[in-house]
Structure 1
Amino acid sequence: MDTIASLFSFITTPVSWVIVQFHRLYGAIFGPDTGWAWGLSIVSLVVLIRICLIPLFVKQIKSTRNMQALQPKMKAIQERYKSDKQRQSEEMMKLYKETGTNPLSSCLPILAQSPFFFALYHVLSGIASGKTIGVINQPLLESAQKAHIMGAPLAAKFTDSASKVESLGATLTDVRVVTAIMIVLMSASQFFTQRQLMTKNVDLSVKTPFMQQQKMLMYVFPVMFAVMGINFPVGVLVYWLTTNVWTMGQQMYVINQNPTPGSKAQASYLERLSKSIAAHSDVRGKRRRAVVQAIVAKGPDRNDNERKFITGLAKQGFAAQADGSVVKSEATAAEAEGSGPKRQQPKRQTKAQRQSGAVAQQGTADAEEPAKTSLDKGTSDEGSGAKQDAPQDAKSKPAAKPASGTARSKAQSGQRKGQQRPKHPSKK
C-alpha cells in the first residue's frame, strides 16, 4: 500500500486541504472534535468530486449505449475472423473508429475517482498511525483521532486488534458492528444500482453477451466490496458508501429522464410523456422536444415503445412534428381509430348445419328448374308462328334432354339413364 500511496502522493495534499476547509465549516457548527464535523467533511468531499465527474458520467452513458448497440456487429466480426486474431482486432478498431465509440469510456468515472480514493485512504491511514500528512498538522491530527462516527473512530478498521482500537478510545465490538453495517449498506447499494440498470435500462429486444457480463458484475461487485471493506478505515467506508449512494441516485435520475431505447424505462418514460401531452396539448421542455424529434427522425426504424408512443398520440388526435412539437389533427385520430366498419368474420357452422343448408339449397334449385323449363316452352310456342318457314328437318332433331330434376326423379324410381346394356346370353 505504501507503493500505491507514493504513486498518488501528488493528490494527497489537495485532498487533505479540501477536507480541512470543510472541517472548518462544520467544526464551527458541530464542534471541531466531533464525528459529525469530520464525517460531513468526507461526505462533502465525495459530493464535490462527483459533481466534477458529471461530464465523464454522461460520456460513460453514451459509451455504454454505443457498446450495447455494437454488440451484434462485434459478434459477427468475431465469428467471421475467428481464425485470424490480427484481422479481428483491426476490424474491431475500424468499427470503433467509424462509430466514434471508446470502450474505455465506460470506466472513466471509476478511473478518475481512484486517485482521490487512494489519497483519502492514505490520509486516514496517517491519522490512524499518528502521522501528519498533507496540510493536516498535529492539532488537526489529534482532533481527527478523537472523532467517532456512531462510536467507531474515524481511522479504525474491522481487522484492527483490540489494543489498537482501545488506543483510539473505542471498543472492538463498536468498531466491528459499525463497520459491518456500513459494509452491508455499501454492498447493497452497489447491488441495487447494478440491478436497476439490468432490469429497467437495458434494451430487451437485443440479446447480447454484454447483458450477461453486466448480470455477472451485478453479483461480483458487491462481493468484492464486502471483501475489501473489512480492510478499509471507517472514514474510507463513509467515503465509499456516500459515492455508492450518489451513483444509485444518479442512475435512477438517468433511468427516469434519459432511458435506453427499447428498455422498460423508455416505455414508462414515453407513457408519462404521452399523458403530459394529452394534458397540456403541447410538448413542454427542450429535452422532451428533443426526445420527440429523435423519435420522428427514426421513421420506420423506431422500436416497439416508440411506435406505440406515436400511435397513442394519433389516437389522442395529435401528430408529432419533425421539430419535436405536436399539432392537433382530427384526421390522424380518425385514421388511427379506423373510420370504416370492421369486417366481421362469419361464424363457424357445424357439420349438421352445413349439410342441412346444402340440402335446402339443392331443393330450391330443383324447384326453380321446372318452372324455368315450362316458361321457355311457352315462349317457344308463342313464337312458333314466326318459325313456320323453318326447314322441316328441324322436326327430325332429337328431343331436348330432360331437366336435371326430372332425370333425378327417374333415377330415383329405378330407371337407368342412357342406352341399356344388352343382357348376357347366360342370363336370358
Structure 2
Amino acid sequence: MIDFFSSIGGFIMTPLYYVVSGIMIGFHEVLSTFMDPEGGASWLLSIVGLTVVIRALLIPLFVKQIKSSRNMALIQPQIRELQKKYGHDRERFAQESMKLYKETGTNPFASCLPLLVQMPIFFALFRMIDQASNGNPRGFLSDLQARQFGNADLFGSIPIAGTLINPEPGGIEVRILAVVLVLAMTATTFLTQRQLMSKNMPPEALNGPYAKQQKMLLYVLPPVFAIGGVAFPIGVLVYWTTTNLWTMGQQFYIIRRNPAPGTPAAQAKEERDREKRVRKGLEDATPAGTSGTPGGVATATETEPAPRERQQPKRQTRSERTRTAANGGKPTAAAARPGSPPRKHPQKSKKRR
C-alpha cells in the first residue's frame, strides 16, 4: 500500500520537479552572469524569480478568488434569509444555497484555488532542496547544479537548506534567520486575510456564516504556518514569504481599483474619484449640501435679506393737499390707499350773474 501511494505521489510530483527546476535554472543562468553561480544569493534570487513566475501565472485564479469573495460577502443577507426559512431542513437549505450561488455566479470554493494550486509547487520545491542537499538531482538539475543548490549558503555561513530544527552547519545564525522568516510568513498571512475582511466586506456581511469562516481562517492559518515553518528550509521560507507579499500587494491593487459596493474600500474609492474630478475642474470642491463657502458657513450676504427699496410718496393733487392740511396733516382715506386713483368731487358750478 505504501509503495502504491509512493508511486502515485511520484507520478504527480515528477512533472512539477521539471517545471520548478526549469524556471529556477533559467533565472540562475541569467544571475550567474554577474553573480557567483555557487553562492546562496544567486539561488535564493532564483527562488524569488520562481515565485514571481508562478504568481503571475495564477493571476486569473486570483482575480476569480477576489470576485468570488466579494460575491460571497454581498449575498450574505440572502443567505441569512435562507437560514431563517430552511434552518430546520439542512438538505433544502443546501439546495437553495447552491441555487443562489449559481444565479449570482458565485463559487464558494474559488477562494481556495490559488492555495490549492500552490501547495504541490511548494512541496516540489521542498523536496528539490532536500534532495539536492543530499546530492540527488531532481528535474532538470544536473549533478553539478544539484551540488551547488544543496550546498549554497548566504553570507558564507547560512545554508539555504538549513531549518530551524536542523540548523547545522550554520548553527545559531540559521535559527535567527529562520525565526525572522517564520514570523514574516505568519504576519503576511494574517495581514493579507485581515485586509480582505476589513476593506472589502460590507458591514452587514461581517456577522454572516461567510464572515465566521473568514475569521476562522484569519486566526487559524497563521499558527498552522508558524508551526509547520520550523521544519521548512530557508529557501522554502523565502518562497512562501515572497508569495505572501505578492498576494498582499495584488489584493491591495484589486480592492483599491474594483472594491465591493457598500464597503470601506468603495467609500475610499469614491472619495479619491471625487478629488480627481475636483483637480480636473469637473466638479466643485464644495461638498453637496453646503452654502458654497469653506466649512459650509453662510456669509452675511447669503443670510440677511436684501434691503427693500424705499417707496416714494405718491404725488397728490392740489385739492388733496388742501384736504390733508385741513385734516391736521393726516392723509385722507383716498390718499392713504397707495395706487388708488384720486377721488374727484363734483364742483358746483357758479352761475355768473
> What TM-score do you get using the length of structure 1 for normalisation?
0.62
Q: Which moved more, 1:28-37 or 1:255-264?
A: 255-264
Work out the CA distance in 1 between the residues paired with 2:31 and 2:141: 16
Work out the CA distance in 1 between the residues paired with 2:287 and 2:9: 58
Q: Which moved more, 1:144-153 or 1:56-65?
A: 144-153
Change (3 A) 1:313 1:135: farther
Larger RCO, structures 1/2 (Cα 8 Å, 6+ apart): 2
2:43 to 38, 54, 57: 38
Aligned twin of 2:332: none
Q: Is the 8 A contact 2:27 2:46 kept in 1?
A: yes
Work out the CA distance in 1 between the residues paired with 2:35 and 2:201: 44
Are 2:255 and 1:250 aligned?
A: no
- Gaps of at least 5 residues in structure 2 are 293-297, 304-353
Aligned twin of 2:132: 127
Work out the CA distance in 2 between the residues paired with 1:66 and 1:87: 22
Change (3 A) 1:146 1:313: farther
Aligned twin of 2:171: 172
What amino acid sits opposite 1:98 in the alignment? E
Q: What secondary structure, in the 3-state scheme, does the structure 2 residue paired with 1:29 have?
A: coil
Q: Is the 8 A contact 1:157 1:233 kept in 2?
A: yes
Aligned twin of 1:385: none
What amino acid sits opposite 1:247 in the alignment? T
Count of residue pairs the alignment pairs up: 287
1:93-144 CA deviation, whole Å, 9 max, x = no partner? Answer: 2112211211111112112222221221121121122211111111101211
Aligned twin of 1:21: 26
Aligned twin of 2:214: 214
Work out the CA distance in 1 between the residues paired with 2:21 and 2:276: 48
2:81 to 76, 80, 88: 76
Aligned twin of 2:149: 144
- CA RMSD in angstroms comes to 2.6
Q: Is the 8 A contact 1:202 1:263 kept in 2?
A: yes
Aligned twin of 1:184: 183
Q: Is the 8 A contact 1:191 1:218 kept in 2?
A: yes
- Which runs of 4 or more aligned residues in structure 1 lie more than 6 Å from their structure 2 counterparts after TM superposition? 313-317
Work out the CA distance in 1 between the residues paired with 2:62 and 2:46: 23
Q: Is the 8 A contact 1:132 1:141 kept in 2?
A: yes
Work out the CA distance in 2 between the residues paired with 1:229 and 1:274: 45
Instruction: Using the aligned pairs only, state the percent identity.
Output: 41
1:113 to 89, 110, 118: 118
What amino acid sits opposite 2:140 in the alignment? V
Aligned twin of 2:330: none
Higher helix share: 1
Q: Is the 8 A contact 1:42 1:235 kept in 2?
A: yes
Query: 1:249 deviation in Å?
Result: 1.2
1:199-248 CA deviation, whole Å, 9 max, x = no partner? Answer: 22221244323223322322211111100101111111110010011111
Query: 1:270 deviation in Å?
Result: 1.0
Work out the CA distance in 2 between the residues paired with 1:79 and 1:115: 40
Work out the CA distance in 1 between the residues paired with 2:223 and 2:277: 45
> What TM-score do you get using the length of structure 2 for normalisation?
0.75
Which one has the largest radius of gyration? Answer: 1
2:165 to 155, 159, 165: 159
